[in-house]
Chain A
Amino acid sequence: MNTGEQYLKAIYLAQRIEDGPAATGTLADMLDVSPASVNEMIGKLEERGLADHEKYKGVTLTDEGIAMAEDALQTYCIIERFLANVLEVEDFRGEARALESVIDDTVAERLDTIIDRRDECPDCFDAEADKCEYLEPIVDAD
């Protein structure tokens, strides 16, 4: 998943959590980067027609941006599920975040053949819990 896709996914999840535009501060916290980096990437996403930025309000994804963010979130869900249920990783969230930049969506598609994922994915992704609401880890740290 490339950096742009990681931003789209973060904006998508922040919009869900905040039930409105995603604040740049929230995105900086989620992505662990500086607000300046967030602003720079938002500019690029705007140029590509994937997001709209309104000063003092935040960022909103366009329809095209939403479609790409949903694909990225599906890939992320596959990585989390694979880690939690195939490799039995306790900290599957932390490891998915660490690995997502190295896992391409074509690779995720292959991993998807050996996990259970619901048809409504990624609608069932719980943004607050940072995992699919139906994901039941084999080893759960909670």
Chain B
Amino acid sequence: MSLGQRVSSDHQLARLLQIGVVLEEVVEARAYRHLDSLSASERADLDDEIVELLEHAAEESEEHRERLAGLVEELDADTVAYEEIETLVEARYGQTSPDDFDGVLYDALCNEETAYKFYDDLIEAVEASDADYALDRDRLLDTLRSIREEEAEGVEEVTEIMERRE
């Protein structure tokens, strides 16, 4: 058991980045699922800003996923084919879909907050380690910090919409 947060090897780093890839995939799938799951009348009632928010969340997650996958490739780690994970996520995400607009917004907020927390913990764990990774540490941290920043902006964006709707 490893007490304290630190990423001590390429293998461990690759695994954590893979978890990030899957988290982003879950966010992307849930955002699209929320849009698809609404009935025609619900969609008509849906504010444009919420539609835009979900579409933006999905696009941003896809972009984050690609950036993370690029880092994983440089680490020469065994990875499961992305298509396999995509299939699995698509088969599962419908099980926990929210059933109203506020639920959709709340879920979007949870997604952004969870992703922020994940990157924040990962950055802290990389910073706490003095391991030499196969990829450049500064570039790794820059990438993770920039993704974390976008997640923080996402939290703000959803929070503002929620406050306006109250």
Which residues in A have some Cβ–Cβ distance to B below 8 Å?
Answer: 3, 6, 10, 30-33, 82-83, 86-89, 95, 97-104, 106-107, 109-111, 113-115
Contact = CB atoms under 8 A, between A and B. Distances in A.
The size class of the interface chain B forms with chain A is 20 to 34
Given A102-B16, A102-B122, A102-B125, 9 more contacts: A82-B19, A86-B85, A87-B22, A102-B7, A107-B23, A107-B114, A110-B110, A113-B95, A114-B26
Contacts of B40: none
Q: Which 6 A-B pairs have the closest CB atoms?
A: A114-B92, A97-B1, A107-B118, A102-B125, A106-B114, A101-B5
Contacts of A102: 5, 7, 16, 121-122, 125
Contacts of A86: 22, 80, 85, 88
What's the dominant secondary structure at chain B's contact region?
A: helix
Nearest to A32: B1
A28 to B, nearest CB: 11
B113 interface: yes
B23 to A, nearest CB: 6
Interface of B: 1-8, 12, 15-16, 18-19, 22-23, 26, 79-80, 85, 88-89, 92-93, 95-96, 110-111, 113-114, 117-118, 121-122, 125
What's the dominant secondary structure at chain A's contact region?
A: helix
Contacts of B111: 110
The residue in B3, B118, B121 that gathers the most chain A C-beta atoms within 10 A of its C-beta is B3
A99 B92 contact: no
B93 A114 contact: yes
B157 to A, nearest CB: 19
A86 B91 CA distance: 13
A113 B2 contact: no
A107 B125 CA distance: 15
21 contacts: A6-B3, A31-B3, A83-B15, A86-B85, A89-B15, A95-B12, A97-B2, A98-B8, A98-B12, A102-B16, A103-B19, A103-B121, A104-B118, A106-B110, A107-B114, A107-B117, A111-B19, A111-B22, A113-B95, A114-B88, A114-B89
Contact of B1 (A6, A106, A107): A6
